[in-house]
A and B are shown apart, each in its own frame.
Chain A
Amino acid sequence: MAEFNIQSDSVDVTKIMGEIRQRIREKRGTDYTEQQIHELANVKLEQFLDPRQVRSDLVEHYRNLDPLDPIPDSGPGTDPIPEAVKFDEETIYVSSRGLMGTLIRLIRRLLNPILRLFFNPDPIIFAMSRQAEINIKTLELLRRQTEQMEQIGKKFAAREALDTLNYEVLNNLVVEMTRLAVDMKNHKMQVESVAGRLDFDERRAKALETVVQNRSAAQDGPSNTAETPGTAPASNRSRRRRRRPRRRAVPSTQTPETTASGRSASPQNAGKKPETADSQSLRAQAITDSAKAASTSREPTEPRAAESSLVTPSSQNVVDPGVAPPEARDTDDQ
């Protein structure tokens, strides 16, 4: 709490109260008017319910919804409430006979002391007038409660309409969620398909390399043949170990540039420690196993038309299964 600047010899209570009230106003924040609050609420509603995303006329529906729409009333309960009878101390003397009535009233007033000899009308008059007031207040209360009931009925009707709209919003959300779930499933299947094709290509490349090596070994003689089986497969394996993790990440994260160079240029990877040969080999083995499992259930060389049509822009960077990746081609050229 901020301190007041109080000098020991002078205090101005009015000024202090002014400061305190100012502080209370500041604590409360800006005093929005009712209209401003409504405007803010409308802005938020529009931001939340974007008609382009959810439903073109949903916001309009909300706006046009009148929560105080009258609801049809069943007749018997709406009989007019009878007017209360007014009763005051003059009522018992009053006559309704015009001029004669005035005279009668005067006579009654004059005879009032005689009447009082028989009984005291004051408590009766007071009780009656109080009762009349109670009746008026009761009727007023009844009227107010009837109005409140009508308001509640109208609110119920408005709530029903709001529920319909809420159902629509919910329905839209569920539809969108289902669509996203289907998309996700398709993407999963596409990734599996790509992995299968990749594995097939690798095995094909390995087979081709073996054939080439066998041929050259046969041409070079038996001395070279003895060391070739031990060295060539090992170098191929190490190349694969380096390549596989990068290829695995291509469909979701790699850009065309990184795919072409075979090296991740993303800032996330920039700061990371390079993977060891053991971890790379373990991961490559796991990917290979999963790709093998996928390839057993599907022909990798002929991807289905539906799958190819679901390729996302990012997945279009994936290399064509029928063509060897640039890095692999470079390696092969070497």
Chain B
Amino acid sequence: MKLAVVVQRYGADLNGGAELHARYIAERLAKHVEVEVLTTCAEDYISWHNQFEPGVEQINGVPVRRFPVSRERNVEDFGRRSIQIFEHKHSLAAELAWLRSEGPTSPKLINHLRRHNQTYDYCLFFSYRYYHSYHGIRATSPKAILVPTAERDPALGLRIFRDSFRSVRALMYNSPEEQTLIQAVSDNGDVPCVVVGVGSEIKANPEPERFRQTSGIKGPVMIYIGRIDKNKGCGELFDYFQRYSRLSPNLTLVLIGKTVIPIPDHPKIRHLGFVTDQQKFDALAASDLLVMPSYYESLSMVTLEAWALGRPVLANGRCDVLCGQSIRSNAGLYYENYEEFAETLQAILLNRTLQKTLGQNGQAYFGKHYSWPVIERKYLDVLDLLDRETTGPPRKLQPLPGWFGRHRADLPPSRSVVEGLPSGPVLPSPTSASSQPWVGFS
């Protein structure tokens, strides 16, 4: 069996969520099936500038075939088109133009998929919202498997993606919340799907003492790992932490990651910047808890890593996925305002039994659902079941309407579509999918 993993960027040093997810999956599945990664030459996800040479290279034993991006993103044009389709009534043509503007526009990659369609048994597309996924799925519909990595953002409400969600062979969701969201927006309940997620490369034997010695941090530590951005809820986190720090001045907030917004000048906020994986896991092991203030997450890998190390998580309760994960795992608390932030933080820091039990639950949850053998097994089962399903009728891809149909501005603003979607965490029930690997597979 030959599997094509199609992703917008790929590289050993790329740390974007979906890109890392794709690399982990490709490298893990390469042990079981033949895998080829199809990607672009881009490294920067904003400009899609061709940084790598086109052609084939090996990364960690996996062949990677790169295709050039035909035009870099015009940020101004993209912003203008985004406003047009997110906020106003628009046409299908406007959505397609937005997709071209977003990129990474690589017709050569799509042509390769079209021409070598028969070479691959299945094509695993990562991130529904990019050019390569939309056009790649249309080129390889009967063989396309989509890992949407969808969040509750306005792009999810675009009409063009509804067809993508309906026409693939299978969907690999990151969380039950993502599944609910996509099924609500595209009505694709008949498409086979499974909630898989992704594992993580947990460094063995992290040394918390090494982190304490090198950083000189004493006392309790709350850690945040990720891009330090307003969209990730870091502004709110800084505000809450500074207020909390007046009451409990011993706690230190450690930040790891690239910063986009200014970090407050506070004696108890320590920004360590970009660190190695070993340093990251040392810091995580040395911390008392991980805080995840993001409003929108498809699946927080850092959260899973914290659970893998037995650390409890304090999540933003307004993020359905994080809230749902915390409830299902019983391994984290969540907050929706400052009072809850202070109380939950206090509870975790002061109640050692609670802290320890949450951490243990996290470890058990990670082991049960996100350890690599489990993830690999789920992917292989999907491929196996799809092989057996070939007797069924192939899914028909909806053709695009004609010129007039595409230019009729009758589509609602996508933001209003997303606002109308169901929200809230998916709570565990006795008949939930936790015991059955397949959801919606007939």
The distance in angstroms between the C-alpha atoms of A17 and B228, with both chains bound, is: 27
The one of A16, A27, A89, A126 in contact with B333, judged by C-beta atoms closer than 8 angstroms, is: A16
A16 and B327 contact, CB distance less than 8 A: no
Min CB distance B144 to A, Å, is 32
Closest CB of chain A to B290's CB: distance in Å? 15
In the complex, which residues of chain A have a beta carbon less than 8 angstroms from the beta carbon of B88?
88
For residue B347, CB closer than 8 A to chain A, the reply is yes
B358 close to chain A: CB less than 8 A: yes
**Judging by beta carbons under 8 Å apart, are A6 and B353 in contact?**
yes
| Residues of chain B lying within 8 A (CB to CB) of residue A13 | 326-327, 330-333, 358
Taken residue by residue from 72 to 109, chain B's Cβ proximity to chain A (1 for < 8 Å, 0 otherwise) reads as 00000000100110001000000000000000000000
Contacts of B331 in A (CB 8 A): 13
Q: In whole angstroms, how far apart are the Cα atoms of A126 and B83 in the complex? A: 10
B340–A20 touching, CB < 8 Å: yes
The residue of chain B having its C-beta at the shortest distance from the C-beta of A25 within the complex is: B339
Within 341-368 of B, Cβ neighbours of A (below 8 Å) are at 343-344, 346-347, 350-351, 353-354, 356-358, 361
User: Is A14 in the interface zone, CB < 8 Å from B?
Assistant: yes
A24 to B341 Cα, complex, angstroms: 11
CA distance A27 to B351 in the complex (A): 19
Q: Which of B327, B347, B351, B357 has the most CB of A within 10 A?
A: B347
Contact partner of A126 among B80, B334, B347, B358, CB < 8 A?
Answer: B80
A187 CB, nearest partner CB in chain B, Å: 55
Which A residues, 7 to 32, have Cβ-Cβ distances below 8 Å to chain B? 7-14, 16-17, 20-21, 23-24, 27
Which residues of chain A come closer than 8 Å to B33, judged between CB atoms?
none
Q: How far is the CA of A20 from the CA of B341 in the complex (A)?
A: 10
Query: Is B56 close to A, CB under 8 A?
Result: no
The reply on A4 being an interface residue by CB < 8 A is yes
The main secondary structure of chain B at its interface with chain A is helix
The size of the chain B interface, using a CB distance under 8 A, is 27
Closest Cβ of chain A to B86, distance in Å, is 13
CA distance A100 to B350 in the complex (A): 78
Q: Are A24 and B339 in contact (CB under 8 A)?
A: yes
Question: A1, B84: Cβ atoms under 8 Å?
Answer: no
Would you give the 0/1 interface string for A60-89, flagging 1 where the beta carbon is closer than 8 Å to chain B?
000000000000000000000000000011
- With the chains together, A27 CA to B327 CA distance in Å? 25
Instruction: State whether the Cβ of B400 lies closer than 8 Å to any Cβ in chain A.
Output: no
Residues of B within 8 A of A88 (CB): 88
Chain A proximity mask over B294-334: 1 for CB below 8 Å, otherwise 0 = 00000000000000000000000000000000110011111
Q: Is B261 positioned at the interface, with any CB of A under 8 Å from its CB?
A: no
A126 cross-chain contacts in B, Cβ below 8 A: 80, 84
Bound together, the chains give a CA A5 to CA B347 distance in angstroms of: 12
**A3 CB within 8 Å of chain B:** yes
In the complex, whether B433 has a CB less than 8 A from a CB of chain A is: no
Question: Shortest CB–CB separation between residue B95 and chain A, in angstroms?
Answer: 14
In the complex the two chains form, is A12's CB within 8 Å of B330's CB? yes
Q: Is the CB of B340 within 8 A of A11?
A: no
Question: Across the interface, do B351 and A24 meet the contact criterion of CB distance under 8 Å?
Answer: no
Of A4, A7, A17, A27, chain B has the most CB atoms within 10 Å of the CB of A17
Which residues of chain A are within 8 angstroms of B327 by Cβ–Cβ distance? 13-14
Task: State in angstroms the CA–CA spacing of A11 and B332 once bound together.
Answer: 10
Binary per-residue interface labels of chain A (80-119) against chain B in the complex, 1 for a CB within 8 Å, 0 otherwise: 0000000011100000000000000000000000000000
| B184 CB within 8 Å of chain A | no
Quick one: which of B334, B339, B343, B361 contacts A11, CB cutoff 8 A? B361
User: Known: A6-B357, A16-B333, A21-B340. Contact between A89 and B409, CB under 8 A?
Assistant: yes
CB nearest to B346 among chain A residues: A1
A88 CA / B354 CA spacing, docked (Å): 58
Report the Cα distance A230→B83, complex, angstroms. Answer: 118
A7 CA to B344 CA in the complex, in Å?
Answer: 18
A20 contacts B347, C-beta separation under 8 Å = yes
Cα(A9)–Cα(B356), bound, Å: 10
Bound CA–CA A9/B350 (angstroms): 19
What is the interface residue range for chain A against chain B?
Answer: 20 to 34
Given A11-B361, A13-B333, A20-B343, decide whether A6 and B326 contact each other with a Cβ distance below 8 A.
no
A17 touches B333 (CB 8 A): yes
CB distance from A287 to the nearest CB of B (A): 62
Contact between chains at B339 and A6 (CB < 8 Å): no
Is the Cβ of A8 less than 8 Å from the Cβ of B333?
Answer: no
Q: Indicate if the CB atoms of A6 and B354 lie closer than 8 Å.
A: yes
Highest count of chain B CB atoms <10 Å: which of A3, A10, A14, A20: A20
CB distance A4 to B351 under 8 Å? yes
How far, in Å, is B299 (CB) from chain A's closest CB?
18
Contact of B358 among A1, A9, A11, A27 (CB under 8 A): A11
Chain B residue nearest to A89 (CB atoms) is B409
Closest residue of chain A to B88 (Cβ to Cβ) is A88
Question: How far apart are the CA atoms of A3 and B349 in the complex, in Å?
Answer: 12
User: How far, in whole Å, are A90 and B344 apart by their CA atoms in the complex?
Assistant: 53
Q: Is the CB of A16 within 8 A of B347?
A: yes
Chain A residues within 8 Å of B351, by CB: 3-4, 6
Q: Are B350 and A1 in contact (CB under 8 A)?
A: yes
CB distance from B78 to the nearest CB of A (A): 13
Q: Are B354 and A24 in contact (CB under 8 A)?
A: no
Chain A: which residue is nearest B339 at the CB level?
Answer: A24
Q: Does the CB pair A20–B344 fall under 8 Å?
A: yes
Find chain A residues with CB under 8 A from B330 CB.
10-13
Nearest to A3 among chain B residues (CB) is B351
Bound Cα distance A23, B88 (Å): 44
Set of chain A residues within 8 Å of B339, measured between Cβ atoms: 24, 27
Cα of A2 to Cα of B339 in the assembled complex, Å: 16
Q: A1-B350, A6-B351 are in contact. Are A23 and B333 (CB under 8 A)?
A: no
Rounded to whole Å, the gap between the CB of A202 and the closest CB of chain B is 71
* A16 in contact with B343 given A11-B330, A126-B80 (CB within 8 Å): no
Using an 8 Å CB-CB cutoff, how does the interface string of B52-80 with A read, 1 for contact, 0 for none? 00000000000000000000000000001
B354 touches A16 (CB 8 A): yes
Q: Which of A24, A27, A90 has the most CB of B within 10 A?
A: A24
Interface residues of A in 277-325 (CB under 8 A from B): none
A and B contact pairs by CB, cutoff 8 A, 26 listed = A1-B347, A3-B351, A4-B347, A4-B351, A6-B357, A8-B357, A10-B357, A11-B330, A11-B357, A13-B326, A13-B327, A13-B330, A13-B331, A13-B332, A13-B333, A14-B327, A14-B427, A16-B347, A16-B354, A20-B340, A20-B343, A23-B343, A24-B343, A89-B409, A126-B84, A130-B83
- Additional 13 contacts, C-beta under 8 A, given A1-B350, A17-B334, A27-B339: A4-B351, A8-B353, A8-B357, A10-B357, A11-B330, A11-B358, A13-B326, A16-B354, A17-B333, A21-B340, A24-B343, A89-B409, A130-B83
Closest 4 CB pairs of A and B: A6-B353, A20-B343, A11-B357, A24-B339
Residues of B that sit less than 8 Å from A by CB:
80, 83-84, 88, 326-327, 330-334, 339-340, 343-344, 346-347, 350-351, 353-354, 356-358, 361, 409, 427
